[in-house]
Structure 1
Amino acid sequence: MKLYVILPLWALFTNTHQKSPSDNCLCELINSEKPFPYDKLEIAQDRASRCTNNITPQKSSTLDGLMLGLDRRLLQLEKDVAILENEDDGKLFGALSLQIIENEIVEIQQLIDRLNSSTKENKNLSENMAQQLEDVKKEMEELEAFDTMQVVKRQQANQRLKRDLDRCKNNGVHPTTQPTQPTGTCPLGKFLNITGPRVQTAGEYAGSFKFGGWGRDPKPEPGKESWYWRVMLTSSNRYAHYVRLYSSLSSLIVGISVPGNVQIHPSNPTTNTIQGPNVVLYAGALYYNCYNKDSVCRFNLTSKTVTTLDLPKGTRYNSKGDFCNLEECYLYTDLDLATDESGVWVVYSTTQDFGNLLVSKVEESEPPKLGKTWRTSVYKRSVTNTFMACGVLYATRFVNKNIEEIFYSFDTTTGEENFNVGIFINKVAANLLFLNYSPVDQMLHAYCDAQMASYKVLFQSGGNSFTY
Structure 2
Amino acid sequence: MPYFPVLPFGLISCCRPCLSWTYFLCKNPGTVVFSSALRSTMKLYVIVPLCVLFTVTTQAPSRDECICEVTSEKPFPHDKLGRVAGNASECNSTINAQMTQELESLLLGLEHRLPQLQEDVSVLEREDDGELYAVLSLFVIENELREINQLIDKLNSTTLDRQHLTTNTTKKLEDLRAEMKELVTYDTMKVIETQQDNERLKSELSDCETGLHPTTQPTQPPHGNCPHGQFYNITAPRVYTQGEYPGSYPYGAWGRDPKPEAGKEDWYWMVILTSGNKFAHYVRQYSSLSSLIVGVSKPGNAQIHAANPTTNTIQGPNAVMYGGALYYNCYNKDAVCRFNITDKTVTTLQLPKDTRYNSKGNFCRLEQCYPFTDLDLATDESGVWVIYTTLQDFGNLVLSKVEGNETMRLGQTWKTSVYKQAVTNTFMACGVLYATRYIDKDVEEIFYSFDTLTGEENFKIGVYMNKMSANIYSLNYSPVDQMLHVYSDSRMVSYKVLFR
TM-score with structure 2 setting the length: 0.61
1:182 is displaced (CA, Å) by: 1.9
Distance, in Å, in 2 between the alignment partners of 1:369 and 1:77 is 42
1:364 is displaced (CA, Å) by: 2.8
Equivalent in 266, 277, 282 of residue 322 of structure 2:
282
- Deviation readout 1:12-32 (Å, 9 max, x if unpaired): xxxxxxxxxxxxxxxxxxxxx
1:379 is displaced (CA, Å) by: 0.6
Q: Is residue 2:454 matched to residue 1:414? A: yes
For 1:6-45, what aligned pairs fall within 5 Å after superposition?
none
Query: Aligned pair in 2 of structure 1 residues 395, 179: CA closer, same or farther (>3 Å)?
Result: farther
For 1:99-138, what aligned pairs fall within 5 Å after superposition?
105-114=134-143
Q: Is residue 2:288 matched to residue 1:241? A: no
1:115 is displaced (CA, Å) by: 5.3
Match of 2:367 in 1: 327
Match of 2:224 in 1: 183
SS, match of residue 329 in structure 1:
coil
Distance, in Å, in 2 between the alignment partners of 1:102 and 1:284 is 31
Match of 1:362 in 2: 402
Query: Could you tell me which amino acid in structure 1 is paired with residue 323 of structure 2?
Result: A
- Deviation readout 1:314-343 (Å, 9 max, x if unpaired): 000001000000000000000000000000
1:183 is displaced (CA, Å) by: 2.3
Distance, in Å, in 1 between the alignment partners of 2:472 and 2:115 is 23
Query: Aligned pair in 2 of structure 1 residues 119, 445: CA closer, same or farther (>3 Å)?
Result: closer
1:69 is displaced (CA, Å) by: 5.4
- Deviation readout 1:229-284 (Å, 9 max, x if unpaired): 00000000000000000000111011111110110000000001000000000000
Equivalent in 294, 317, 322 of residue 334 of structure 2:
294
Query: Aligned pair in 2 of structure 1 residues 302, 418: CA closer, same or farther (>3 Å)?
Result: same
Distance, in Å, in 1 between the alignment partners of 2:418 and 2:424 is 12
Match of 2:497 in 1: 457
Match of 2:243 in 1: 203
Query: Aligned pair in 2 of structure 1 residues 455, 410: CA closer, same or farther (>3 Å)?
Result: same
SS, match of residue 71 in structure 1:
helix
Query: Could you tell me which amino acid in structure 2 is paired with residue 232 of structure 1?
Result: I
Match of 2:118 in 1: 71
Q: Is residue 2:357 matched to residue 1:311? A: no
Match of 2:478 in 1: 438
1:118 is displaced (CA, Å) by: 7.8
- Deviation readout 1:167-213 (Å, 9 max, x if unpaired): xxxxxxxxxxx9985222x1111101000200111001111100000
- Deviation readout 1:331-361 (Å, 9 max, x if unpaired): 0000000000000000000001111000000
1:66 is displaced (CA, Å) by: 8.6
Distance, in Å, in 2 between the alignment partners of 1:432 and 1:179 is 31
Deviates more, 1:188-197 or 1:295-304: 188-197
Distance, in Å, in 1 between the alignment partners of 2:411 and 2:146 is 51
Distance, in Å, in 1 between the alignment partners of 2:431 and 2:497 is 15
| Greater Rg by CA | 2
Query: Aligned pair in 2 of structure 1 residues 180, 209: CA closer, same or farther (>3 Å)?
Result: farther
Query: Could you tell me which amino acid in structure 2 is paired with residue 111 of structure 1?
Result: V
Query: Aligned pair in 2 of structure 1 residues 102, 66: CA closer, same or farther (>3 Å)?
Result: farther
- Deviation readout 1:423-456 (Å, 9 max, x if unpaired): 0110110001110100000000001111110000
Asked if the contact 2:260/2:324 (under 8 Å) is kept, the reply is: yes
Query: Could you tell me which amino acid in structure 1 is paired with residue 445 of structure 2?
Result: E
SS, match of residue 108 in structure 1:
helix
Distance, in Å, in 2 between the alignment partners of 1:179 and 1:401 is 34
Distance, in Å, in 2 between the alignment partners of 1:440 and 1:373 is 25
Distance, in Å, in 2 between the alignment partners of 1:66 and 1:188 is 20
- Deviation readout 1:399-419 (Å, 9 max, x if unpaired): 000000000000001000000
Asked if the contact 2:120/2:141 (under 8 Å) is kept, the reply is: no
Query: Could you tell me which amino acid in structure 2 is paired with residue 343 of structure 1?
Result: G
Distance, in Å, in 2 between the alignment partners of 1:301 and 1:285 is 6
Query: Aligned pair in 2 of structure 1 residues 391, 118: CA closer, same or farther (>3 Å)?
Result: closer
Query: Could you tell me which amino acid in structure 2 is paired with residue 376 of structure 1?
Result: T
Query: Aligned pair in 2 of structure 1 residues 119, 396: CA closer, same or farther (>3 Å)?
Result: closer
Distance, in Å, in 2 between the alignment partners of 1:389 and 1:179 is 18
Asked if the contact 1:344/1:361 (under 8 Å) is kept, the reply is: yes
Distance, in Å, in 1 between the alignment partners of 2:339 and 2:296 is 23
Asked if the contact 2:259/2:323 (under 8 Å) is kept, the reply is: yes
SS, match of residue 291 in structure 2:
helix
Distance, in Å, in 2 between the alignment partners of 1:75 and 1:284 is 25
Query: Could you tell me which amino acid in structure 1 is paired with residue 293 of structure 2?
Result: I
TM-score with structure 1 setting the length: 0.66
Asked if the contact 1:282/1:344 (under 8 Å) is kept, the reply is: yes
SS, match of residue 319 in structure 1:
coil
- Deviation readout 1:80-111 (Å, 9 max, x if unpaired): 5xxxxxxxxxxxxxxxxx77798864443232
1:366 is displaced (CA, Å) by: 1.5
Query: Aligned pair in 2 of structure 1 residues 107, 224: CA closer, same or farther (>3 Å)?
Result: farther
Residue-pair matches, total: 328
Q: Is residue 2:301 matched to residue 1:261? A: yes
Query: Could you tell me which amino acid in structure 2 is paired with residue 108 of structure 1?
Result: S
Distance, in Å, in 2 between the alignment partners of 1:351 and 1:405 is 27
Asked if the contact 1:72/1:249 (under 8 Å) is kept, the reply is: no
Query: Could you tell me which amino acid in structure 2 is paired with residue 73 of structure 1?
Result: D
Q: Is residue 2:422 matched to residue 1:382? A: yes
Query: Aligned pair in 2 of structure 1 residues 314, 247: CA closer, same or farther (>3 Å)?
Result: same
Asked if the contact 1:180/1:411 (under 8 Å) is kept, the reply is: no
Match of 1:3 in 2: none
Distance, in Å, in 2 between the alignment partners of 1:242 and 1:363 is 24
Distance, in Å, in 1 between the alignment partners of 2:123 and 2:223 is 33
1:396 is displaced (CA, Å) by: 0.3
Query: Aligned pair in 2 of structure 1 residues 118, 182: CA closer, same or farther (>3 Å)?
Result: closer
SS, match of residue 303 in structure 1:
coil
Asked if the contact 2:221/2:454 (under 8 Å) is kept, the reply is: no
Deviates more, 1:64-73 or 1:238-247: 64-73
SS, match of residue 436 in structure 1:
strand
Query: Could you tell me which amino acid in structure 2 is paired with residue 309 of structure 1?
Result: L
Distance, in Å, in 2 between the alignment partners of 1:70 and 1:383 is 36
Match of 2:390 in 1: 350
Query: Aligned pair in 2 of structure 1 residues 100, 302: CA closer, same or farther (>3 Å)?
Result: farther
Asked if the contact 2:229/2:499 (under 8 Å) is kept, the reply is: yes
Q: Which has the higher contact order (CA 8 A, sep 6+)?
A: 1
Query: Could you tell me which amino acid in structure 2 is paired with residue 342 of structure 1?
Result: S
Asked if the contact 1:180/1:191 (under 8 Å) is kept, the reply is: no
1:70 is displaced (CA, Å) by: 3.7
